[in-house]
Chain A
Amino acid sequence: MPAQANANVIALQLEKVRDKVPLLYERDDILLTMIQQRGDVEKVSSRNMRLPLQVNPGGKAGSYNADGGDLGRGSGTAYDVAQVSPIFFRFAIEITKLVEYATTGRERAIENAAKREVANGMKQFRSFLDKLMQTAGNGVLGTINSIASTTFTMAVPSGAALVYVGQTVQVYDTTLTTNRGTCNVTAADPINAQTITVDAVPGGTVATDVLVHDGLSGAQPVSLFGIKYHQNTATTGTWLNLNRATYPVQLQTPRVNAGNAALTPSNVRLAINKVRKSLGINHVSKLIAYMAVEQEHAWENLGITVSQIIKEGGSGDGNDLDLLFSGRKTMSGVPIKSSVNADQTRVDFLDLSHWGRAVLKDVDFYEVNGNTVFPIYGASGGLAASYIFYFDTAFQVWDDSPRTGAFIDTLARPTGY
């Protein structure tokens, strides 16, 4: 009987936790997983999912002469079809041979190593996908403002917030046409300096170039359709395969331009009122105000809300306000959802009942013939001292009514950031 290989043990441990992987992924604490897989949409195949949209109302209203007058002709509602096709994403995790040496003969230790890598890997995968949710659908994670040796100073918004240390990124020119090559992030400061340090700068990289995530190729790459793809005022280009120029009003999300000034209550009221005027005065109960922590701080700085300091003043979560009331922080009555990944100069009002995820493959281990753990081969063709496993998923995010949201952009960040 052959000796038990470590890979078999690791694979065994992964199989034991396999049915828990969706739980780890779908936890409802980041924007991506707040957007539900919609029950009213069938799980999609590799073909495009179709979303019928009512783009223009029908019927002809008017007065008429009842004394033999002509009542005129009518018209019908105009529909068009938006289309979504899923994108495949993967997250690769390697365990080195050292794990085996450190855990030989101790199955519990191997179990712990596998669990640790599953937990950490899933956290990072969720975070990566949530960062993509902040983008405009082209995979751009940031724009280079200046270069000093191997350090990029990134332009705000986004800054260095959408990458993580160890991530492989690609440098594209500003028109997303020329791929200059890949590099690995070795350091990132998303809070103060907004710098990203990489191992080696691809040849030809210049300021104004952009960083995109690994795996994209060709000109004008397509990635996850994030907030800035759907909540957009563009009247050219495409949106879910529809020509924006054909529906310049219907596909525009109401916008408030803050003009690089600090957030004020009037910005917020303008944005919320745009939704109310469009949907009806009492139809904003489903909105959430999605923003970066920096803008939540700007709202706190106005001194009209119960600040985080007060909420932490009691014993843990159970302070008086939470016991008596919802304790929910709102922005003019709209619940706040903040994120460290969100654009630091923007507040988005989202009606998530209009958002959904078209899923082709639920998140799981990547599997080939029942195997989920694979050996790594060295440059010589021989085995390398590592094993690899992957999480993968295929989905796309859609919003069937861009006009039901609103956003405030070009906001100043509060001082101290």
Chain B
Amino acid sequence: MISVQRETHDTPETIARSLQLAGGINRFREPNYRAVWGWNRLAWIGGKFQERDPATGSLLREVVELRQEPKYPAVNRWHIEKWLPPETYGSPRAWWAQTTEAEGGRSIPALGPYPARGEYELCFTLEGPRGEFVQLTPTVAEHIARAIEWSRRHPRSAGKRALYDREQRQERSYDAYAYDILDDAVPAFHRQPFVAVA
């Protein structure tokens, strides 16, 4: 039996073009937004890996190395990424100070080399409300890029207020839920009919 271990897909040209039109290009003349398939998106991970028995979870061995592994947990989904400039990650000196891990007498860069040309970070994973697969289309990709760009133009205070408003809505939602539950326990007029029925 053939078992597919890793399924890769390249981003369709039309979608790459739509995202470039929606989000523009960066200082390196690369698109600000791009779509990638989970298995295609690899990133550096360095350090001590513990390899475990899949059946029992017991530890089999420990290996200190630098690997390229899928960057996002959802490997069989399309992801929309946005480019972030290198200054987002601090100076190279700060990068090395924060990401270098000492394992077994060796220094390992836990996130690989400094992203001198910036890096693409996850904006959105395309999946349905129950985690089901959603196909990538130019409309979907463009919609997400435009939504993010539109929200970036809002003042930060509005973003903060929106988050607190959401929390207050959740409070009110609990209140309504609680009263519904209690009304269900003690119905109006103790289940007596509101009008006499002949």
Contact = CB atoms under 8 A, between A and B. Distances in A.
Interface of A: 13, 16-17, 19-20, 23-24, 27, 29, 54, 57-58, 61, 77, 108, 111, 115, 118-119, 122-123, 191, 259, 261, 264-266, 269-270, 273-274, 276-282, 284-285, 287, 293, 296-297, 300-310, 312, 320-322, 324-327, 330, 332-334, 338, 340, 414-417
A276 B166 contact: no
Contacts of B179: 115, 119
B25 interface: no
Contact of A320 (B72, B73, B143, B182): B143
Interface in B57-97: 58-61, 69-75, 79, 82, 84, 88-90, 95
A189 to B, nearest CB: 14
B129 A27 contact: no
A351 to B, nearest CB: 12
A276 B125 contact: no
A412 to B, nearest CB: 13
A333 B47 contact: no
A100 B57 CA distance: 62
Contacts of B140: 324
Contacts of B8: none
A279 B119 contact: no
A265 B84 contact: yes
B61 to A, nearest CB: 7
Contact of A302 (B71, B72, B84, B129): B84
Given A277-B50, A279-B52, A301-B159, A265 B186 contact: no
A325 B72 contact: no
Q: Which 10 A-B pairs have the closest CB atoms?
A: A307-B151, A119-B178, A308-B162, A333-B72, A57-B59, A17-B185, A115-B182, A303-B152, A20-B185, A310-B151
B176 to A, nearest CB: 10
A204 B47 CA distance: 50
Contact of B162 (A108, A287, A312, A326): A312
25 contacts: A20-B182, A58-B58, A77-B58, A108-B188, A108-B189, A118-B182, A119-B179, A266-B98, A269-B111, A270-B111, A277-B45, A277-B49, A279-B52, A281-B45, A300-B151, A300-B159, A303-B82, A303-B152, A305-B148, A306-B123, A307-B162, A309-B162, A322-B129, A333-B72, A333-B74
A263 B192 CA distance: 58
Contacts of A24: 178, 181-182
B17 interface: no
A416 B151 contact: no
Nearest to B150: A310
A330 B122 contact: yes
